Structure 1
C-alpha cells in the first residue's frame, strides 16, 4: 500500500494538471477564437491522441526491457517534456504558438499515461488492485479539486502561476516515483519477465470485447451527461449557470469520497458484482432525475449517483487487466483508454443531437439506455476473479 500511495502522488499531479488545463486553457483560446465548437474541438485533442498513441505505447511498454524497467523509461522521457510545454502554454504570443504548445503537451502526456497506469498492476497483486485503484483515483480526485480551488486563486494573481506550479509538481512526482519504485525490485515476479510481442488478436477474446463494449457504453452515458448537464439545469430546470455547475459537483465529490471504499468492496465482493451494482444503480438514478422538483433533491440524487459511478469506475480498470495475460497490462491499459476516449469524443455530439431533436427531457433517458446496454455486455462477461498467465478463454 505504501508503493500505491507513492504512485498515487503521480496521479495526483497528473489529475491536477488536466483539471487546470481543462479549466483555464479555454480562456486563452477564447482570446483568438469566437467559435465555441472550434474551442471544444481543440480541447479534445488528448482524446484523439489517446485513440492511436496510447494503445501503441501501452503495447510497446509490454515489450520494453531496460535497466530501469518496462514502464519507467516512458515516464523519464515523457514527464519532463510535458512539464516544459505545460509551463509554456500561458506564455504563448499568438494562436499558432498556443495550439503548438497544446499539441506538444498532449503528445508528451500520451507517451507516459498508459505506462504509468500499467505500473499499478505490475506492482500490485490481483487481490489488492481494486484497493490500489481506489487510492489512486482518490488522490487524482483530490488533485482535480485542488486545481479548481487553489489554481483559481493563483490564476487570478498571475495567469502563468498555476501552470508553473503544476509543471514543478510534475517533476517532483517523477522524482518521487523514480526514487521509491524500482521496477526490477518491486514488480511481482511474472512482470519481471521480458514479454514477447503481444498480439491484439489474441488479447481481444470474446470476454475482453464484451467488457470493452460495456466500458464504451457506460462512458457514453457519463461523458454525455457531464457535458450537457449544466445546459440541462439551465434550460430544463431553470437554474442559474453557477447553481447548475455547483450541482454537478456533488456527483464528482461523492465519487472521490467513495473511491477507496469502492475498491475495498470490490476486493471483498468481486469486481464484476460491484460494477453490475453500479450500473443498476445509475440506471435508477438517471431515470429518477427526470422527476426532480427541487435543487436539494437534485443534488442528493447526484451525490448518490457519484457513489454508484465509483463502484463502476474504480473496479473497471483492474477488471480489464485481469481478463488477459499478466504480460499484457500495458496493451490492455491502452485498449481501456481507447474505448473511453472514443466515448468521450462521440458522446457529447450524439446526445446533443438527440437533445436538438427531442429536447433536454430525453437526456437522462438516453443515459439510462446506454447504461442498460453496458449491463447487457457485462452480463456476457463470465470471467472469474483470477486468471492464469498466458491462458485465454473464449466464452459466450
Structure 2
C-alpha cells in the first residue's frame, strides 16, 4: 500500500487556503496592534487569546456538524467553500478599521523618536515635558526595573556602566555614511533604539488609543467575525485528509498536507514581506492580497477535488487490503516502543487504556502549543523590538523558517514510518527545548551576531516542532472511526486553540514583567511538560502498512 501523493496534494489545497490566512494573521496582526494601538505585550496577548477562544468552541462544533452533513458535494466541501467566501469578504475590513489610529500612531512615534531636531521637546500624557536629554535620562532610570526601556545588564556587558556613557550614545544617534546619507549609528541601534521605540508604544496607547477606543472596538468586532468564518471550515478542511486516506498512511499524508499548507504560508510570506519592504504600513494591501490568494487556492481545490469520489476510492482501497477506517486500533505501543497484541477478552480494558492515551495526547498537544504559540504570536514583535530588525527583514526571518519547513516535511513523514510517531514527536520536542534555551542565553539582544544566532536556533526549534506537527494530528485520528473523524479533529483543535487562547496573555505578562527574552524560558518549560506527557502515551502510534496483496506477490515471482 502506497500513498497517492498527487491526490493528497490536491486535498491539501484546502489547508493551503487556511495557512495563507493564519500565516499572515500571526505575523501581521501583532504588528498592526502594536503600531496602531501601542498595546502592551499582555493586552495584545489578551486580544489574540480572545480571538482563539472563539475557535475553541466553534472548531469542535463544526467538525461534528460536518460529520453528519450529507450533500452531493460531500461532507466537508460545502463548509470549505462557504467559509472561505465569507472570510475573504470580511477580512479586508480588518486593517480599514485600524487605519485612522495607525496614521496617528505612526505620526506620534516619529515625533517622539526624532530627538535630533533643534529644540526637541516632548510632552507626555501626564503633561511632563522632556528635552531629548531628559527623555533619555528617564529611559535609563526606568531601565533599573524595566529592561524594555533600557536593558542595563546588556549595557554593562558591553562596557556602558553609567548614565553619562549611555547619554554619549543616545545624544549622538546618527552619522553620515560613505554615500553621504545620514543613518543611525550602530551603537544607537544596539543600545538605545529598542528602548525609545518601546516608550513610544506606551505613548501611542495613552495619547491615541485611549482617546479613540471606538477604533479598537470596531477592529476587534470585525476580526472576531473573520475568525468565526474561518472556524466554520478549518475542522472540515483538516478532516478531509483522514476521510480519504487509510490509517496506516496518515502520517505520510499529513506531511504532504503540511507541505501544501507550507505553500500557502509561503504565499503569505511573499505578500507581507514585499509589501513591508515597499510600505511599512501597507496593511490594507496585505489583507487584499491574502484574500485574493485564498480565493484562487479555493478555486483550484474545487476544480481538482471531488470529495465523494475520493471517499469511495479510499473505501475500495481499504477493502482491498482488508483494513477499515472504522476499526478500533488493533495494536498498541508500550513505553519501550514494543508492539503489544490484545485478545478479545481484553477489549474493555483496552478501550479504557486508549481513552487515557487519547487524553494524554491532547494534553501533550495543549502544552506544546502553549510553548509554540507563545513564540509564534510574538515573533514579529520580538524580532522588531528586541532584535531591532525592520518588519521586512523580520519577514525574511519568518520566510527562511517556512523554507526549511517545506524541505523537512517529507523526511519527517518518513521518520514516523521508521521509528513511530511517538518517538518522532519526543525527538522534535527535545530539539525545540534545546533551541529555546540557546535563544535565551545567546540570541536575545540587538546586534548582527544575535540576529544570525537567533535565525539558526529558531530554525532548529521550527524543525523540531514540524516533527511534532506532522505526527500529533494522525495520533488523534488514529483513535477515531470513519464516522467521527470530524469530531476527533475538533478535539484536536480544542487542544490547540485553548492553548492559543491562553498563552499569548501569559507570555505577554512574562515579557512585560521580566523582559522579552524570558518568553523563551516559558516556551521551553511548556514543551518540556509535553515530552513527559507524550512519554506516557501507549496508543495512537503508527502501524506498518499491510503487506502486498497476494496477486501482487505472485506477479513479483514472475
Q: TM-score, normalised by structure 1?
A: 0.81
The answer for the alignment partner of 1:392 in structure 2 is none
Say if 1:27 and 1:274 are closer, same or farther in 2 by CA, change over 3 A. Answer: closer
Which residue, 242, 257, 271 being the options, matches 1:121? Answer: 242
Q: Among residues 533, 538, 542, which one is paired with 1:385 in the alignment?
A: 542
Q: Tell me, which stretches of 5 or more residues in structure 1 are unaligned?
A: 196-200, 388-396
Is the 1:10–1:170 contact (alpha carbons within 8 Å) kept by the matching residues of 2? no
Show the counterpart of 1:393: none
Query: 2:232 aligned with 1:106, yes or no?
Result: no
Answer whether contact 1:52 1:338 (CA < 8 A) is retained: yes
After TM superposition, the structure 1 stretch with the greater mean CA deviation from structure 2, 244-253 or 277-286, is: 244-253
User: Does 1:328 pair with 2:484?
Assistant: yes
* Equivalent position to 1:53, from 34, 52, 58: 58
| Aligned residue in 1 for 2:12 | 8
Question: What is the CA–CA distance in structure 2 between the aligned matches of 1:168 and 1:76, rounded to whole Å?
Answer: 14
Tell me the equivalent position of 1:337: 493
After superposition, residues 96-245 of structure 1 pair within 5 angstroms as 98-153=219-274, 156=278, 160-187=284-311, 188-189=314-315, 205-227=355-377, 239-242=387-390
What is the Cα deviation at residue 160 of structure 1? 4.1
Residues 254 and 304, structure 1, Cα contact 8 Å, conserved in 2: no
* Shift of residue 171, structure 1, vs aligned partner: 2.9
Cα distance between partner residues in 2 of 1:259 and 1:74: 27
**How far 1:48 moved relative to its partner?**
1.5
Distance (Å, rounded) in 2 between the aligned partners of 1:241 and 1:5: 35
- The number of residues matched between the two structures is 379
Contact kept in structure 2, 1:7 and 1:177, CA below 8 Å: yes
Could you say which residue in structure 2 is the equivalent of 1:268?
Answer: 418
Shift of 1:23: 4.2
TM superposition score normalised by structure 2: 0.59
Matched, 1:282 2:432: yes
Match of 2:460 in 1: 304
Q: Contact 2:238 / 2:489 at 8 angstroms: preserved in 1? A: yes
Larger Rg: 2
Of 86-95 and 109-118, deviating more is 86-95
Q: Which moved more, 1:101-110 or 1:23-32?
A: 23-32
More helix by share: 1
How much has 1:5 moved relative to structure 2? 1.3
State the shift of 1:271 in Å: 1.4
Deviations 1:346-379 (A, max 9, x none): 2233344445566666544433332221112112
Report the Cα distance in structure 2 between the residues aligned to 1:31 and 1:366, rounded to whole angstroms: 25
CA contact (8 A) 1:250 1:306 kept: no
Q: Does 1:69 align with 2:69?
A: no
Is the 1:203–1:324 Cα contact (8 Å) retained in structure 2? no
Distance 1:214 1:72, change over 3 A: same
Unmatched 5+ stretches in structure 2: 100-213, 319-323, 327-350, 444-448, 545-558
> Residues of 2 paired with 1:19 and 1:111: CA distance?
18
Alpha-carbon distance change, 176 to 100 in structure 1, aligned in 2, over 3 angstroms: same
How many angstroms apart in 2 are the aligned matches of 1:145 and 1:40?
25
Which of 525, 529, 552 is 1:369 aligned to? 525
Deviations along 1:29-72, one digit per CA (max 9) or x if unpaired, are 67874544555544445411211110111112112222222112
Q: Quick check: 1:46–1:110 contact (8 Å CA) kept in 2?
A: no
